[in-house]
Structure 1
Amino acid sequence: MANIELQGLVKSYGKTMAVHGIDLDIADGEFVVLVGPSGCGKSTTLRMIAGLEDITDGTLRIGGEVVNEREPKQRNIAMVFQNYAIYPHLSVGQNIGFGLYTARLSKAEKDQRILATAKILGMEDLLKRRPAELSGGQRQRVAIGRAMVRDPVAFLFDEPLSNLDAQLRAQMRIEIKRLHQRLGTTIVYVTHDQIEAMTMADKIVVMRDGRILQVGTPTDLYENPVDVFTARFIGSPSMNLVPGKAAGNTLTATGATVAGLESGRAIGDVLIGVRPHDLVVGEAGAPGLSLSGAVTAVEPLGSETLVHLDIAGTEVIATAPGKLVPKVGGTITAAAPPGSLYLFDAATEQSLGRL
């Protein structure tokens, strides 16, 4: 196992800068998820750690040693790719043991490692099968097993679940998390799926345009986003944003009623953020934020219903009890209490704190 340190890491392709001098410390045994939209630099960062991309500038340390110039095989890390990259003509056991092909181990030692790895993954009865006989989740476990068998100091995962259906993704999330808890090995995991990030990570790194916006635990990022992008990217459905104005201790919002709240300072145009699960369909009048608008769509989910509203031209999503399904075209009111609201500067989109 090993810690990984990124200091001023830069990646440029000619005049185009893909990663802008990022700094990040990943502790020994930590499960860190790099998350962000396509093109944000997360996979490029992972490939620099792996040695698959040259580092333009900055320093990369693994286990306290500078590895900028080391070949991938010299870094003692293992990478699991999106497309599995397993060999169809080899058995499960041969695929898992492929990384031991050049290792100076006896056949008995190699077989022992392969069997031990297969047992951890629950695949000891599948060692003689070919990949064509496996499900998507089983193939992904084979790819993970091939990385595990080498006993690396860190695992790198590059969107490993994106080719699986929703049910298999949920299952594999749990399996990878349990694997990490069992092995305690450092994991750096890249995804654009914030649900994967929230459910798996010890620490999440939110990236955008080759820069790190915020680093923290899933709870930190959900409860205290530093800007609008992070606030909307973390959490599903995304946070609602209602335009408003703050003048001294007076806060007003377009198409909304604000009661019992103080902005705290004169700052002009703002965005008031509220998560859909905090914006509940029902009677208004209590302190907090109250919105009334036309229902544009409903999404019954069983235990709750997501209600889409048009509030003075701004679409917001509110939550109603599962048995309540408002009619499209009707007008309803939803309210959020103090303590559940966020304030952002409309110009910079930076957080101004909670309300």
Structure 2
Amino acid sequence: MAKIELQGLGKRYGSAQVVHALDLTIEDGEFTVFVGPSGCGKSTTLRMIAGLEEISEGRLLIGGEMVNQREPKQRNIAMVFQNYAIYPHMTVGQNIGFGLYTAKLSKAEKQARILEAAKTLGLEPLLNRRPAALSGGQRQRVAIGRAMVRDPAAFLFDEPLSNLDAQLRAQMRMEIKSLHRRLGSTIVYVTHDQIEAMTMADQIVVMKEGRILQTGSPLELYENPADVFTARFIGSPSMALLKGEVSGGALRVAGAEISGRVPARASGPVLVGVRPHDLEVGAGEPGAGFRAMGLVEAVEPLGAETLTHIRIGEAQAVATAPGRVLPEVGSMVPVRAAPGTLHLFDAASEKALGRI
């Protein structure tokens, strides 16, 4: 296990800067997830940590030692790739033990490590099978087992679940998180799937265009996003954004004045964000907060609740209704949000201003 520190870490390809001076600390034993859209630099950052990409600027420390010039095998880390990278002509046991091929261990010690990893991952009955006879989830566990037997200081995962179906992804998320609890290892995990980030991470790192926008726990990022991009990227379905105006200490949205204390630094044009589970279908009891009428454009019944896609003025939003309530497409419905659930962002900079 090891603490990983990025100090002004950057990457250039010729004149193109793809990762910009990242400063980040990943504590020993922490599960950190890099999340962001394709091309944001998260996989490049992971590959710099692994030693598979040369570092253009800055310093990378693992366990307090600078490793910029060290070869991947000298960094005491193990990487699990998106495509598993297991050998079809080898058995499960041989694949798991492949990382020990050059290790200075006795045959008995190597076998003990293979059996221990297989037991931890539920692969004992499959040790003599070849990858063609395994499911996608089993192949992924084999790839994780091959990383485990090396007893690395840290595990690096590069979108390891993207090739699995939705049900298997959910199962593997819990298996990887459970494995982290048992091993207590430092894990750096890259994904474009914010659900993976929310359900697995101790710390989420949101990236865009090669820069870190915000870091924090899943709940911190969900409750207090620093900007519009983070607000919409974290949370599913995405936060809705309505155009508003702050004048004379009052906020107006969708033709109505919103009651509540407006943050002191808010003025002029603003964007008002509301999450689907804070925006409810129905007029409810009269009171404070946000109230508007919305045109129903689509309905998604999910059993316990119904997601209602509505249009409020020019903006699209998603509101929730009880599971047995199915608003009619094309109808106008009242929606409401309680005080304290609206997020205000500056319309120009898109930076967070506070909540009302």
Same fold (TM over 0.5): yes
Mapped partners of 1:110, 1:260: distance in 2: 65
Mapped partners of 1:107, 1:288: distance in 2: 69
Q: For the Cα contact (< 8 Å) 2:87–2:131, is it kept in 1?
A: yes
Mapped partners of 1:58, 1:78: distance in 2: 22
Mapped partners of 2:173, 2:241: distance in 1: 30
Deviates more, 1:100-109 or 1:140-149: 100-109
Are 2:302 and 1:301 equivalent residues in the alignment? yes
Are 2:21 and 1:21 equivalent residues in the alignment? yes
Deviates more, 1:285-294 or 1:223-232: 285-294
Match of 2:338 in 1: 337
Match of 1:59 in 2: 59
Deviates more, 1:206-215 or 1:257-266: 257-266
AA aligned opposite 1:11: K
Q: Which runs of 5+ in 2 are unaligned?
A: none
Are 2:200 and 1:200 equivalent residues in the alignment? yes
Q: Deviations over 1:163-219 (max 9, x none)?
A: 000000000000000000000010000000000000000000000000000010001
What are the equivalent positions in structure 2 for 1:1-355 lying under 5 Å apart?
A: 1-256=1-256, 258-265=258-265, 267-283=267-283, 285-355=286-356
Deviates more, 1:312-321 or 1:173-182: 312-321
Shift of 1:255: 4.6
Q: For the Cα contact (< 8 Å) 1:207–1:213, is it kept in 2?
A: yes
Shift of 1:266: 5.5
Mapped partners of 2:131, 2:92: distance in 1: 7
Of all paired residues, the percent bearing the same amino acid is: 70
Shift of 1:350: 0.2
Other structure's SS at 2:124 match: coil
* 1:113/1:342 CA distance change after superposition, 3 Å: same
Q: Deviations over 1:20-74 (max 9, x none)?
A: 0010000000000000000000000000000000000000000000000000000
Mapped partners of 1:126, 1:51: distance in 2: 32
AA aligned opposite 2:129: R
* 1:306/1:266 CA distance change after superposition, 3 Å: closer
Task: Using structure 1 for the length normalisation, give the TM-score.
Answer: 0.98
* 1:132/1:252 CA distance change after superposition, 3 Å: same
Mapped partners of 1:96, 1:67: distance in 2: 27
AA aligned opposite 2:142: V
Other structure's SS at 1:290 match: strand
Shift of 1:248: 2.8
Q: For the Cα contact (< 8 Å) 2:250–2:258, is it kept in 1?
A: no
Other structure's SS at 1:276 match: coil
Shift of 1:258: 2.1
Mapped partners of 1:52, 1:3: distance in 2: 19
Q: For the Cα contact (< 8 Å) 1:248–1:263, is it kept in 2?
A: no
* 1:280/1:266 CA distance change after superposition, 3 Å: closer
Q: For the Cα contact (< 8 Å) 1:305–1:325, is it kept in 2?
A: yes
Shift of 1:259: 3.0
Q: Please list every run of at least 4 consecutive aligned residues from structure 1 whose deviation after the TM superposition is greater than 6 angstroms.
A: none
Mapped partners of 2:146, 2:157: distance in 1: 13
* 1:195/1:302 CA distance change after superposition, 3 Å: same
Shift of 1:293: 1.8
Q: How large is the RMSD of aligned CA atoms in angstroms?
A: 1.0
Other structure's SS at 2:335 match: strand
**Equivalent pairs, count:** 355
* 1:327/1:244 CA distance change after superposition, 3 Å: same
Q: For the Cα contact (< 8 Å) 1:251–1:263, is it kept in 2?
A: no
